[in-house]
Chain A
Amino acid sequence: MNKPEPITPSAEAPVSLYAKHEPVFNRRIDGKFRRIKWAIMAACLAIYWVTPWLRWDRGPYAPDQAVLIDLEHRRFYMFGIEIWPQEFYFVAGLLIMAGIGLFLVTSAVGRAWCGYACPQTVWTDLFQHVDRLIDGDRNARFRLYKAPWGPAKIARRVFKWAIYLAISFATGGAWIFYFADAPTLHQEFWSGTAAPVAYGTVLVLTLTTFALGGFMREQVCIYMCPWPRIQTAMLDEKSLIVTYKEWRGEKRGSLKKAQKNPGEYGDCIDCNQCVAVCPTGIDIREGPQIGCITCALCIDACDRVMAETGRPRGLIDYATLEDAENEKKGHPPTRHAKLIWRPRTLVYFAVWAGIGLGLLFMLGTRVHTDVSVAKDRNPPYILMSDGSVRNGYTLRLHNMQNRPRDMVLGIEGLPGAVMWTEDMAREAASRTLTRTVAPDATQVVRVYVVAPEDTRDQDFAFTLEAQGEERESDTAKAQFDAPGDE
């Protein structure tokens, strides 16, 4: 095999495979999509901030915060719904729905999640707005960036970063209110008596928000986040994405050039406004690319330019690649609703809705009474002095409602057997026992079941019936061991 020819360093500057990060100074823009973005940002932040403060009366035995993730007691409260750890499939189901929902949205309208609703986008947008308020618009910010460090620049920067920090604290830090009673925690937090973990969480979330939203911005979207890799794989030529209509724009030329040579140039006047407003700093005219989060700000920018130059809007627009091709051939653009509803999106929607209906069904039919059994294995059975056989069990009675309930434990099958527990006399043994189980609690009961002398190994069941209007019940299978024929 031939070895590659030895080569020596040349005088040319070496080509680096690593592109240094270029900061993005995006220009302020106003327009339809910008306003939609503002509205969504406001709505998201409002929901995020207000939710933990909503109250929901659950009676005296449960917290009255409408949405609460109670890690300590392993409960999740959401308005009238209360999830126990063993019901975690609800959360799993919601996560699967979120995943399929992302597929659905992506195959229909591209990275709309990224462009409008993703927290990273919301924060980047917010911080870029702070940049514009403090340092001025694109050119001013660029000048400041290039300027040497001096007292004025340092003061400006420190001031701006302080604002970043304040916003990070108010947004990222607020997350803790989802994990404890918000009014109490709020008071404790400011009086210095909250749990150390609360301060730690606020610190970590403030700093991550500060770093990710204040400094890393679009790099998170392009390099760190796994979603875009999945999403770009989900896109096809029928997905509605932000598209530059090349057939109409090319060949680019300034207004002057276009006026001099009518007919030679396309609609794009090469004003670079679309690049200037882009929060990730890309040029959409190079075609669909991973850096585009489909925020549509470039549409706003270009539509303005088109209006000023007296050309029809939509040189950059939401369009499917297929439709852009069709338009090129002279067909009128297809209505968006028609583009969105196609077999692929309908299948996603069906699966998504199916899981949702399934979860709703389970939510409606689940019981709040549950019994589980663990049998003593060592020893498997005990011979009593009167010849009868005893087995021991550890039962867990779950009362998944937020009021105390009387529950009747019973034996199903196992003829002649009676039971008693470790805290009652054997003489009181019977086939049913009544226990009061505290609200939202599990009661552990050691139960001894004794069966007559000649009982053989067999299966039976414990039943648990909650007293009260709904009479919910649950059954748990168990095994009874007895000495075999030796």
Chain B
Amino acid sequence: MADKRFDEATQTETVGHEWDGIEELNTPLPRWWLWTFYACIVFAIGYTVAYPAWPGISSATQGVLGWTSRGQLAKEMDEAAAARARTVASLADMPIEELPQHPELMRAAVAGGSAAFKVNCVQCHGAGAAGSKGYPNLNDDDWLWGGDLQTIETTLIYGIRQPGEEMTRQSMMPNFGSDGLLDAGQIRDVAGYVLSLSGKEKTSAATQRGAQVFADNCAVCHGENAKGNRDLGAPNLSDAIWLDGGSKAEVEAQIHHPHHGVMPAWGERLDPVTIKMLAAYVHSLGGGEEFAAPVADAAPEGEDIAEEAAETRE
């Protein structure tokens, strides 16, 4: 660079650019800035030595500290598990029907169940547990096998019609149509009859004929007045809830060749505490039965309230 140019006022060398008469001065960086910069470089080198950094052909350098992201995750998971250990231990020891007497534990169980539900159950029952055709809605108060905490827990553990599971809930409705047990007219009549029980169809000669068909073929499982039988998982046909659809065609289809849902036996896959939490969560969705009266009615002492206050403050 032959012609170094210097700014007149400051005698500083310029970098040689010029825009509309404005020139940039080649002012050296302040020393503190440079030293910070060098320190950063030294730090960065040390960092890549200490931690996994340099990519190789099949893997990267391991770093002298032996840190791995998996290791850190495992550590955090262990810590989280340790933090929950007390609750989990109490839940493991407690029979589920006693849960309602321990509101704190119940709350923890419902919260844990809500999380477990999102992992395991939403595929069939939906994110809001509202189910869909053929998949029960868990929010309502209609239960095929019963809706108290214990029964829900049993259903969860052994599943419904789980092949190879001895204790699973079993029931089969005969294929009345496809096996030729009833003819098409009888099926139409009896479908009309059950729909009339919940006011969806008017009583008529056809429904009266259907009542006879019902008494002869269906009352065994669904009961004289069609209120269902929880021992057999036979649905209540007189209420407003229809698992497989409540139109006449849908009811006829179900009589002709019934659809049978299968729920896995979660006892094989989930630990007992998770199942307890799931049962508590499902029970809490608004349809839970046999709710023991809350015991919190025992007049709370001042201290308890203060404690509770500390917990619920936000």
Q: Which of B3, B240, B294, B305 is close to A387, meaning CB atoms less than 8 Å apart?
A: B240
B127 at the A interface (CB under 8 A): yes
B254 at the A interface (CB under 8 A): no
> Are A387 and B198 also in contact (CB < 8 A) when A7-B8, A9-B6, A379-B128 are?
yes
Give every chain B residue within 8 A of A444 (Cβ-Cβ): 312
Q: Which of A1, A12, A384, A422 is close to B11, meaning CB atoms less than 8 Å apart?
A: A12
A404 CA / B5 CA spacing, docked (Å): 80
A13 CA / B10 CA spacing, docked (Å): 9
* Contact status B127-A378, CB under 8 Å: yes
A476 CA / B126 CA spacing, docked (Å): 29
Quick one: CB contact mask for A440-472 with B, threshold 8 Å, 1 for yes? 111110101000010000000000000000000
* Contact status B309-A61, CB under 8 Å: yes
* Contact status B312-A441, CB under 8 Å: yes
CB distance from A60 to the nearest CB of B (A): 6
Main SS at interface, chain A: loop
A426 CA / B289 CA spacing, docked (Å): 8
Q: Which of B21, B291, B313 is close to A424, meaning CB atoms less than 8 Å apart?
A: B291
Quick one: CB contact mask for A373-384 with B, threshold 8 Å, 1 for yes? 000111100111
Give every chain A residue within 8 A of B100 (Cβ-Cβ): 423
Give every chain B residue within 8 A of A448 (Cβ-Cβ): 286
A80 at the B interface (CB under 8 A): no
* Contact status B291-A4, CB under 8 Å: no
Interface residues of A in 367-393 (CB under 8 A from B): 376-379, 382-387, 390, 392
B239 at the A interface (CB under 8 A): yes
Closest to B139 in A: A382
Closest to B22 in A: A4
* Contact status B18-A422, CB under 8 Å: no
CB distance from A338 to the nearest CB of B (A): 48
Which residues of A are interface residues toward B (Cβ below 8 A)? 1, 3-4, 6-10, 12-17, 60-61, 73-75, 376-379, 382-387, 390, 392, 404, 422-426, 436, 438-444, 446, 448, 453
Closest to A13 in B: B11
A15 CA / B11 CA spacing, docked (Å): 7
Most buried by A among B10, B142, B306: B306
A379 CA / B240 CA spacing, docked (Å): 17
Interface residues of B in 283-313 (CB under 8 A from A): 284, 286, 288, 291, 293-294, 300, 302, 305-306, 308-309, 312-313
Q: Which of A75, A379, A425 is close to B139, meaning CB atoms less than 8 Å apart?
A: A379
* Contact status B291-A382, CB under 8 Å: no
* Contact status B291-A423, CB under 8 Å: yes
* Contact status A384-B18, CB under 8 Å: no
Most buried by A among B4, B110, B141: B141
> Are A378 and B130 also in contact (CB < 8 A) when A385-B142, A423-B294 are?
yes
> Are A382 and B130 also in contact (CB < 8 A) when A7-B6, A7-B8, A15-B10 are?
yes
A13 CA / B11 CA spacing, docked (Å): 8
> Are A74 and B314 also in contact (CB < 8 A) when A423-B100, A426-B141 are?
yes
A386 CA / B8 CA spacing, docked (Å): 95
Q: Which of A7, A75, A390 is close to B286, meaning CB atoms less than 8 Å apart?
A: A390
A352 CA / B227 CA spacing, docked (Å): 72
Give every chain A residue within 8 A of B128 (Cβ-Cβ): 376-379
**10 additional A-B residue pairs with CB within 8 Å, beyond A376-B128, A448-B286:** A7-B6, A9-B6, A9-B11, A73-B314, A384-B140, A384-B240, A385-B241, A390-B140, A422-B284, A443-B312
> Are A384 and B291 also in contact (CB < 8 A) when A74-B314, A422-B286, A438-B309 are?
no
Across chains A and B, which 4 residue pairs bring their CB atoms closest together, nearest first? A378-B128, A14-B11, A379-B130, A438-B309
A12 CA / B7 CA spacing, docked (Å): 13
A74 CA / B3 CA spacing, docked (Å): 67
* Contact status B313-A73, CB under 8 Å: yes
Closest to A17 in B: B10
> Are A8 and B140 also in contact (CB < 8 A) when A438-B309, A443-B312 are?
no
B274 at the A interface (CB under 8 A): no
A16 CA / B12 CA spacing, docked (Å): 9
Q: Which of B10, B103, B286 is close to A382, meaning CB atoms less than 8 Å apart?
A: B286
> Are A383 and B140 also in contact (CB < 8 A) when A4-B18, A390-B286 are?
yes
* Contact status A440-B309, CB under 8 Å: yes
Closest to A10 in B: B11
A-B contact pairs, 21 of them (CB 8 A): A4-B21, A6-B5, A7-B8, A9-B6, A13-B11, A379-B137, A379-B139, A385-B141, A385-B239, A390-B140, A392-B286, A404-B309, A422-B286, A423-B103, A423-B106, A426-B141, A438-B306, A441-B309, A442-B312, A444-B312, A446-B284
